[in-house]
A and B are shown apart, each in its own frame.
Chain A
Amino acid sequence: AQTVTQSQPEMSVQEAETVTLSCTYDTSENNYYLFWYKQPPSRQMILVIRQEAYKQQNATENRFSVNFQKAAKSFSLKISDSQLGDTAMYFCAFMKWVMGSGNTGKLIFGQGTTLQVKP
């Protein structure tokens, strides 16, 4: 069974600074996807960034980037130029690749990291 671990329950960062959130996972699968979701106080789950395990290049989405270390089973999220709107809970999630168009696997989430961006 796959597990996802986020070892930092809470973190804080000053506005405009950079912060890194940690995530490790355990799996015997070779084909899978990793995601970071953001959950602001509104409780909406928002996809921040995704990474395919077969890609060596780290994914980047504007101020958000990941450091994907497949051998170490590590998937950290770096937020650059932090903004007040980045204040949220962040979840790391694992998805096993499933054959078939439109049929994704279930998401397995870590426990989440609450990030507070301070002015």
Chain B
Amino acid sequence: DSGVTQTPKHLITATGQRVTLRCSPRSGDLSVYWYQQSLDQGLQFLIQYYNGEERAKGNILERFSAQQFPDLHSELNLSSLELGDSALYFCASSSTGVRNEQFFGPGTRLTVL
């Protein structure tokens, strides 16, 4: 158990819908990262938040957005869903130490029908 929690574990929805994925980082971790794992694109970085502020952006679609709240939990919002958005979405958090490690949550499996 990495200490990072993600809800829900599975999500099935229809095209055109909007969903919200939730992530709680490890206690004390200020950074949260979102990654998408799909068969087509592999594992790719979407976005990073650090202590409530957006810090880095990857190949995140305009239909996707994220935020980090004062209690440090983060939400990833996916809207106008398409079949190609079906993927496993991971959240990770990083330590305040010097080891530069990211700890991954169990992921949310999104299926768009």
Residue total for A at the interface (Cβ-Cβ under 8 A): 25
Contact with B along A71-109 (1 / 0, CB 8 A): 000000000000000000001000101000111111111
Main DSSP-derived SS at the B contact region? strand
| Contact-residue bracket for chain B | 20 to 34
Contact A104 B45 (CB under 8 A): no
Contact with A along B27-50 (1 / 0, CB 8 A): 001110101000000111100101
User: Which of A33, A35, A109, A112: most chain B Cβ within 10 A?
Assistant: A109
**Complex-state Cα separation, A104 to B49, whole angstroms:** 11
Of A22-30, A43-51, A60-68, the segment with at least 4 beta carbons within 8 Å of chain B is: A43-51
Q: Please report B residues at the A interface, Cβ cutoff 8 Å.
A: 2, 29-31, 33, 35, 42-45, 48, 50, 55-56, 58, 88, 90, 92, 94-104, 106-107, 109
